[in-house]
Structure 1
Amino acid sequence: MSKLKAAIIGCGSISKHRHLPEYAGNSEVEIVALCDRVMSRAEAMQGVYGGRVYTDYEELLSNEAVDLVSVCLPNYLHAPVSIAALNSGAHVLCEKPMATTTEEAEAMIEAAEKNGKQLMIAHNQRFVRSHQQAKELIEQGAIGKVYSFKTIFGHGGPEGWSVDGKDSWFFKKDEAVLGAMGDLGVHKADLLRYVLGEEFTHVSAMVETNAKEAITVDDNAICLLKTESGVIGTLTASWAYRANEDNSTIIYGEKGELRLEDDPTYSLMAAYTDGSRVNYELGKIQSNEEGKQTSTGVIDHFVEAVRTNTKPLIDGEEGKKSLNMILAAIESSEKGHTIQL
């Protein structure tokens, strides 16, 4: 079986730490092209992974016959570059948030359908073992009816992670459009939809820029959410957690509670109303800290979906639903009232 030819558009930190090493680690893939508007970045990755180098994605797409394209660019470019790649005949894995508006997301979905190609959004929280185990326990009725939840994704901000540091596109409204909500909040919106197995109907939020100076996007948000069955809870996304990262989720039900990524040793802790407890050691969640990079499972899932021509776990429709929750939260904060999805 011939290898799938992959191109990575955008050679910043997410490519360096996630996409490129995971493609390189997949025996069914060959990295054939790299693109970044800063030539030296693409060349640095070429030195490790090979492939031809480009500074113009349109030139890459016209010159190379690629099967897979990873779009690892500032948020405002996700939709146009993904659509161009789909139209060129490639399957696309796009970083989150998939787009900056619902209309952009729908155009991406339409391009994938028109060209008969897979579109996957890189929401890696669905592949975390503790999250998958929690979903199974809820489906099995282990904690009975779910009443409430709280989920948090907070750290000191992308300046310690982004290749451009404090000058990163993450902080610029015209390139990022969405701040901590697009960086972290959308991950948790997607996680809640996945773990709880239902959609959200109401969003109320306070979204602020109060932790960082000279940035033009949000950096601190707290959202109140309600599902179609009436489960209520909170989602926090923050670049203001400077001392320690928090990536925890707690789910409260009639028969017990589940604590996900809330303990350094046990990635899932279940406590039941009958007094019993079960602690699970399921490996560490992905972290942005140097030296803690492990495989996300995203690339392998994407490759398998393309190989078998099956819908990926997070296709365009799934990505759009999670994006819409974040857009509704920002609208709620701006208008000062609850938004019905």
Structure 2
Amino acid sequence: MLRAGIIGCGGIAERRHAPVLGKLKGVTLAALTDTSTDRLAELGEHYNVPEDDRHADMDSMLANAELDLVHICTPHDLHVGQAIAALESGAHVLLEKPISTTVDEADRIIAAAEAAGRKVAISHNQLWSSGHRAVRRVVDDGSLGEVFFVRSEGFSARHVSGRGINQDWRTQSGAGGGGPLIDNGYHQVYKAIDIAGPPTRVFARIGRHASDIEVEDTAVVMIEHQGGATTSIQVGWCAPGGSIRAEEIFGSTGQLRVGGESPLRLWTHERSRWDDVELEPEVRDELGFPPLVQEFLDAIVNDTDVPEAMSAAASRQTLAVVVAAYESGQSGQPVEL
């Protein structure tokens, strides 16, 4: 039985990490650490973690809990130090996205994993979601022809508040490393790379227009891909009245539309109509997280590489796009990758 620990008992640990670790076979949620004693008690009692295994100090948990793996669910700026500490303690690591706030930090995590002989995975969970798996099937079977454009737009009224001591860390430049682009937009970037291929150049307009926060509230990003495709991403916390989410993929012989009248619809030149695409059943709000964790556990048990899509190298590539977008937003010029 694998023993898992969680660093950070905030909202994402409560909604996704702890429930999944509590349900999957072959693993037990053995220890928790958080600076909030209230959060430690709440999650610890709910998931039957013994009081002696609820630690207010991360180093204490890593030294005493005899863990096989650690899930890191903390503000972005803490990822690098906590990941390296967990790896050096002998644990495998599953990090919430993003892997870190800088490419240099990502490289340090990768180097620490290699030195320790441990595995690192990043929660690119939406690649495992029922919806995205269906998108991949359509792209892979050739129904769209050659993909040339990916469009992804998602706006909300504000950031998601945390559940810990610092509930608004996402709006703070130090803790978050940025705003909606590095938070929500990170998912949009890795999904676009998965569909359209490796990124080569980035251009962005980024600003703060409707919010009294330290970070941007609006980001518009264009990504050029190695195969010639283009991605347009719009993301922000600037829509107090709400917004209509748009996600579409355009190919030489067809078009996919995510959401709207049905979860996924396909138009092809051959059929000249919209058809619903069948999705595998998925519990609301899981968004691919259980199968991602299961594949990470399988890699640990079987001593195989983690799937490329959740690897530290893949997350470094995603982060490089985000960092380039911030650079472009400041300079007004495109940035080569």
CA-to-partner distance for each residue in 1:268-287, whole Å, 9 max, x for gaps?
11101121432024268887
How many Å separate the matches in 2 of 1:167 and 1:122? 21
CA-to-partner distance for each residue in 1:48-84, whole Å, 9 max, x for gaps?
1122111111111111210110000111001110011
1:66 and 2:59 matched: no
Distance change >3 Å, CA 248–CA 166, structure 1 → 2: farther
CA-to-partner distance for each residue in 1:236-273, whole Å, 9 max, x for gaps?
1212234446554211111010112x225x22111011
Match of 1:35 in 2: 33
Match of 1:19 in 2: 17
How many Å separate the matches in 1 of 2:79 and 2:299? 21
Secondary structure of 2:94's match? strand
Match of 1:94 in 2: 95
Contact 2:67 2:91 in 1 (8 A): yes
Give identity over the alignment, percent: 27
Structure 1 spans left out of the alignment, 5+ residues: none
Amino acid at match of 1:329: A
Match of 2:329 in 1: 333
How many Å separate the matches in 1 of 2:231 and 2:274? 23
Contact 1:286 1:296 in 2 (8 A): no
Secondary structure of 2:186's match? helix
Match of 1:104 in 2: 105
Within 5 A, what are the aligned runs for 1:1-341?
Answer: 3-51=1-49, 52-159=53-160, 161-163=161-163, 167-196=167-196, 198-213=197-212, 215-244=213-242, 248-260=246-258, 262-263=259-260, 266-274=262-270, 275-282=272-279, 292=285, 296-297=289-290, 298-313=292-307, 314-341=310-337
How many Å separate the matches in 2 of 1:79 and 1:115? 15
Distance change >3 Å, CA 248–CA 23, structure 1 → 2: farther
Amino acid at match of 1:99: S
Contact 1:267 1:284 in 2 (8 A): no
Secondary structure of 1:211's match? coil
Amino acid at match of 1:333: G
Distance change >3 Å, CA 283–CA 157, structure 1 → 2: farther
CA-to-partner distance for each residue in 1:132-183, whole Å, 9 max, x for gaps?
2222222222111112121123323334x42259941111112111211111
Please state how far the C-alpha of 1:310 moved relative to its aligned partner.
2.3
User: Which one is further off, 232-241 or 68-77?
Assistant: 232-241
Structure 2 spans left out of the alignment, 5+ residues: none
Number of equivalenced pairs: 330
CA-to-partner distance for each residue in 1:182-224, whole Å, 9 max, x for gaps?
111111111111123x1010100011122321x1112210101
Please state how far the C-alpha of 1:226 moved relative to its aligned partner.
0.6
Distance change >3 Å, CA 165–CA 65, structure 1 → 2: closer
